[in-house]
Amino acid sequence: MRYLITSTLLAAGVVALTLPTKTHLHRNNTNPWLAPSHNSARERAFYIFNAVHSAMRQWGSSLHHNGLGLIPATVPRGTLLYHGTWRNYTPPDFEWLAFEMEHSENFARSTRGGGKGPSKGPQPPQLAGQRDRQKPMVQPRDDDNPNRGYLHTYRASRDLKLLYIDGMSAGNTLMGTLDTQDLLLRSLEHASPYDDWNRGHDICALVKTWGLDGVIRMEIGFEIMYCDFTDGLDPVSILRTPYQEDREGASIDLFEWVRAVSQLYDGIGAGRVTLDLGRMVSGLWYPVNVTNPEPVMSKHPRLIETTSDERAEILKRVENVVRSTKDKIRVDWQGITDMIVGRYGDRIVALTEEEDADAFAKQIHVITNTFVDYPASPIDKSAMIDSGDMIRKAIKRCAHHFLEPAYIWRHEWTDEDALIYTATETVSW
C-alpha cells in the first residue's frame, strides 16, 4: 500500500514537470474585448511556470528564448551600470547600459584601424551644432579620434522604473525572440531583426509616456535600453580605453564577456533588479493563437499568428498595469518555482534513468512520503477501504505545499497573481 500511494503521487509529479511539445490554439474572433483567462493559464501552465522560473536568468531565458511576458522591474538607487561607446560624453538620446563591465567593454574598444568597435546599429545623424552643445566629462586630446573607445560608468541616482521583456529579447533573430517588441510594443508586422536603433527609439517613445525609464532585455548578458541618460543616472567615470593593438589580453575579450555572463545563469544577483511578477502581462494569459508556425520550433510560442486587434488589447493591459501602483510585492513567485524545481527537478530526471525497480520505488517513497497520513496500524482495515481518499488528500497536500505562502495573501492578489497561482498549481498537481 505504501508504494501504491507514493507511485500515484509520483505519476502526478512527473506529468506536471514534463515540458510541453506544442501550444494550444485559441482564438477570440467575436468579442473585441480580450481578457486574461484562467483556462489559458491552465493550458499554458508549463510555459508560464518556465517563464516565471527563468525571469532575469541567463540559462533559463536562453532555453525558453521566445518570451511573451512583460514585467515591471526596478533597478534600485545606487546600482552601477556600464556603457561602451566611441563618445566621451553622456549620450544625448537613448542608449544601452549593461549590468556587467565586460559586456560594455566589448563596445568600448579602441582601434587604430579603419572602424569603430561593435555597435547595436546605425548611430543617429548629428544635428548641426549638436556636438558643440555636449559637455564632455573628459576633454579631448590630440590622439582622440572616431576610433577611440570609452567605458562609461553610471550610478542610479534613484530607483529606475523599467519594463523587463522576458526570453532572449535582445537576440536579433527571426525565431520569435523579437515578437513582443516588434509585434506588440511597436505594432509592426515586418521589421528587420537587426534594426535595433529604430527598435529602441520606438520602444522608448512608447514607454516614456507610461512613466518608465526604459526596458531590460537579454542577449549575452542583460542590458537596459535607457531612454534618457540625463534623468536618473549619475556619471561616475568616463575612461578612455587602450588601443587593442597595444595591450595584452585583447584577444580574449569576448571570452571574458562570456565568463562574466556565465555567473548570471541562475540570476543577476546583488539585488540589482526587482521584478514585480504580480503585475506580469503575458500573451500566454490570453485565448489567442500562440502557435509557432515552424513545426520544428513548436515548443517555442510566438505572437506571429495573433491579430492586430488582439495585440492591441494585450498592449492596453500592459499600459494599465504599468500605470497602476502597488504598495508592496507580497508573493515571491520565482522563489516558489525554485522550491518546486529544487525538490523535484533533479530527482525526476534521475528517475527517468533508473533501471533498478527497487531503487526506483525507494526514491518515489523519499519524494512523496512527507505528504501521506499513514494509517495508525498496518492492519487498519478502515484505512485500506478509504485508501482512495487518503491518496487524493496526499496529492492535494503535495501539490499545494509550496503554494501555501502565496495563498495566505490571496485577498491582496492582483489578477496576474491569480493567473500565476493557477498555472503553478496546474504544474504542481
Q: 110-152: per-residue pLDDT in tens?
A: 988 755 454 454 444 443 333 333 334 444 444 555 589 999 9
Q: Which three cell numbers stand for residue 416?
A: 496576474
User: Does a structural domain hold residue 68?
Assistant: no
pLDDT at 353 over 60: yes
Question: What is the structure's pLDDT at 248?
Answer: 75
- Whose grid coordinates read 510594443? 185
User: Does a structural domain hold residue 220?
Assistant: yes
User: Does a structural domain hold residue 393?
Assistant: yes
Indicate whether 360 and 212 sit together in one domain: no
Mean pLDDT in residue range 234-263: 87
Question: Do 250 and 243 contact (CB within 8 A), yes or no?
Answer: no
User: Does a structural domain hold residue 225?
Assistant: yes
Nearest Cα to Cα of residue 32 among 314, 315, 284, 309: 309
Q: How confident is the model at residue 390 (pLDDT cuts 50, 70, 90)?
A: confident
Indicate whether 255 and 352 sit together in one domain: no
Q: How confident is the model at residue 254 (pLDDT cuts 50, 70, 90)?
A: confident
State which of 246, 272, 298 marks the end of a domain. 272
Q: How confident is the model at residue 389 (pLDDT cuts 50, 70, 90)?
A: confident
Poorest-confidence range of 119-123, 182-186, 373-377, 379-383?
A: 119-123
Give the separation between CA 126 and CA 141, rounded to whole angstroms. Answer: 21
Give the separation between CA 328 and CA 59, rounded to whole angstroms. Answer: 28
pLDDT at 181 over 50: yes
Poorest-confidence range of 5-19, 57-71, 136-150?
A: 5-19
pLDDT at 293 over 50: yes
Indicate whether 254 and 118 sit together in one domain: yes
Residues 6+ apart with CB under 8 A from 317: 36, 281
Indicate whether 142 and 8 sit together in one domain: no
Give the separation between CA 96 and CA 160, rounded to whole angstroms. Answer: 14
Question: What is the structure's pLDDT at 341?
Answer: 96
Indicate whether 347 and 211 sit together in one domain: no
Domain that residue 152 falls in: 75-272
Indicate whether 162 and 90 sit together in one domain: yes
Question: What is the structure's pLDDT at 417?
Answer: 97
pLDDT at 277 over 70: yes
Query: Residues 291, 292, 298, 301: is their CA dihedral positive or negative?
Result: negative
Q: What percent of the chain has pLDDT over 90?
A: 66
Domains held by the chain: number: 2
User: Does a structural domain hold residue 278?
Assistant: no
Poorest-confidence range of 121-135, 235-249, 255-269, 329-343?
A: 121-135
Question: Do 357 and 7 contact (CB within 8 A), yes or no?
Answer: no
State which of 234, 252, 272 marks the end of a domain. 272
Indicate whether 10 and 79 sit together in one domain: no
Question: What is the structure's pLDDT at 87?
Answer: 94
Question: What is the structure's pLDDT at 127?
Answer: 37
Give the separation between CA 243 and CA 148, rounded to whole angstroms. Answer: 8
Residues 6+ apart with CB under 8 A from 390: 5, 372, 373, 383
Question: What is the structure's pLDDT at 264?
Answer: 81
Mean pLDDT of the chain: 86
Q: Give CA separation, 412 vs 37, 320, 332, in Å.
A: 19, 18, 14
Give the separation between CA 77 and CA 67, rounded to whole angstroms. Answer: 27
Indicate whether 250 and 366 sit together in one domain: no
Indicate whether 267 and 368 sit together in one domain: no
Indicate whether 348 and 268 sit together in one domain: no
Poorest-confidence range of 22-31, 99-108, 171-180, 412-421?
A: 22-31
Q: Which long-range contacts (CB under 8 A, 24 or more apart) does 233-236 make?
A: 233/81, 233/90, 233/154, 233/155, 233/156, 233/157, 234/154, 234/155, 234/156, 234/157, 235/90, 235/137, 235/152, 235/153, 235/154, 236/80, 236/153, 236/154, 236/155
Q: What percent of the chain has pLDDT over 70?
A: 83
User: Does a structural domain hold residue 190?
Assistant: yes
Question: What is the structure's pLDDT at 229?
Answer: 98
Question: What is the structure's pLDDT at 247?
Answer: 74
Indicate whether 102 and 211 sit together in one domain: yes
pLDDT at 404 over 80: yes
User: Does a structural domain hold residue 43?
Assistant: no
Give the separation between CA 273 and CA 56, rounded to whole angstroms. Answer: 8
User: Does a structural domain hold residue 354?
Assistant: yes
State which of 255, 272, 289 marks the end of a domain. 272
Question: What is the structure's pLDDT at 366?
Answer: 85
Beta-bridge partner residues of 110: 243
Question: What is the structure's pLDDT at 24?
Answer: 39
**Number of neighbours of residue 258 by Cβ within 10 angstroms:** 13
Which amino acid belongs to residue 312? Answer: A
Indicate whether 262 and 340 sit together in one domain: no
Give the separation between CA 413 and CA 425, rounded to whole angstroms. Answer: 15
